A and B are shown apart, each in its own frame.
Chain A
Amino acid sequence: MTAYILHVCIIMVLFSMLSLSLNIAVGMTGLVSLGHAAFFGIGAYASGLMMLCGLPFEVSLVLSGIVTSVFGIILAVPSLRVKDDYLAIVTLGFGIIAVIILMNMDITGGPDGLTGIPPASVFGVALTSKPVYFAFCSSILAIMVLTTSRLKASKVGRAWAAIRDNDTVAMFMGINIYYYKVLCIVISSFWAGIAGSLYAHYTGYINPMTFGMQTSIMILAMVVLGGIGSIPGSIIGASVLVLLPELLRGFEAHQGIFYGALLVTMMVLRPQGIMGKMKVTDIFARGS
Chain B
Amino acid sequence: MLVVSNLHCYYGRIHALKGISLHVKSGEIVVLIGGNGAGKSTALKAISGIVQAASGTVTFNNNDITHISPDKIVMAGISHVPEGRRIFPRLTVEDNLLLGAFTRRDSSEIKKDMGKMKELFPVLANRSKQYAGTLSGGEQQMLAIARGLMSRPSLLLLDEPTMGLAPVIAQDIYRQVIYLNKEQGLAILIVEQNARIALGLAERGYIIETGRIMLEGNCRELKQSNEIKRAYLGKDYREVWE
**A contact set with B: CB distance below 8 Å:** 155, 158-159, 161-162, 164-166, 168-176, 277-278, 282
Contact = CB atoms under 8 A, between A and B. Distances in A.
Contacts of B71: 171, 174-176
B95 A172 contact: no
Contacts of A277: 90
Contacts of B80: 172
| The 8 nearest A-B residue pairs measured at CB | A174-B74, A174-B103, A165-B88, A174-B71, A169-B86, A171-B70, A176-B71, A173-B102
B50 interface: yes
Interface size class of B (residues with CB under 8 A): 20 to 34
Contacts of B48: 172
A158 B98 contact: yes
A132 B161 CA distance: 61
A165 B89 contact: yes
B144 to A, nearest CB: 9
Nearest to A159: B102
> Is the contact region of chain A dominated by helix, strand, or loop, or is it mixed?
helix
B211 interface: no
A158 B102 CA distance: 9
Interface string B132-144: 0000000000000
Contacts of A159: 99, 102
Contacts of A168: 50, 82, 86
Interface in B152-201: none
A169 B74 contact: no
Contacts of A282: 90
27 contacts: A155-B102, A158-B95, A158-B98, A158-B99, A161-B95, A162-B91, A162-B99, A164-B90, A165-B89, A165-B91, A168-B50, A171-B71, A172-B50, A172-B70, A172-B74, A172-B86, A173-B100, A173-B147, A174-B71, A174-B74, A174-B75, A174-B103, A174-B151, A175-B99, A176-B69, A278-B90, A282-B90
Nearest to A161: B91
B88 A161 contact: yes
Interface string B64-83: 00000111011100001110
B175 to A, nearest CB: 24
A176 B68 CA distance: 12
Interface in B89-129: 89-91, 95, 98-100, 102-103
A155 B80 CA distance: 20
A192 B147 CA distance: 36
A169 B88 contact: yes
Interface of B: 48, 50, 69-71, 73-75, 80-82, 86-91, 95, 98-100, 102-103, 147, 151
Contacts of B82: 168-169, 172
Nearest to B104: A174
Contacts of A176: 69, 71
A133 to B, nearest CB: 39
A190 to B, nearest CB: 24
Contacts of A162: 88, 91, 99, 102
B88 to A, nearest CB: 4
B90 A161 contact: yes
A184 B10 CA distance: 31
A175 B90 contact: no
A166 B82 CA distance: 12
Nearest to B73: A174
Given A162-B99, A172-B70, A174-B74, 17 more contacts: A155-B102, A161-B91, A161-B95, A164-B90, A165-B88, A165-B89, A165-B90, A166-B88, A168-B82, A169-B87, A171-B70, A172-B74, A172-B86, A173-B99, A173-B102, A174-B102, A175-B71
Contacts of A171: 50, 70-71
Contacts of A173: 74, 99-100, 102-103, 147, 151
Among B82, B102, B147: residue with most chain A CB under 10 A: B102
A171 B102 CA distance: 11
A176 B100 CA distance: 13
Contacts of B91: 158, 161-162, 165
A278 B90 CA distance: 8
Nearest to A171: B70
Among B75, B86, B90, B100: residue with most chain A CB under 10 A: B90
Contacts of A174: 70-71, 73-75, 102-103, 151
A162 B150 CA distance: 15
A173 B70 CA distance: 8
A159 B102 CA distance: 8
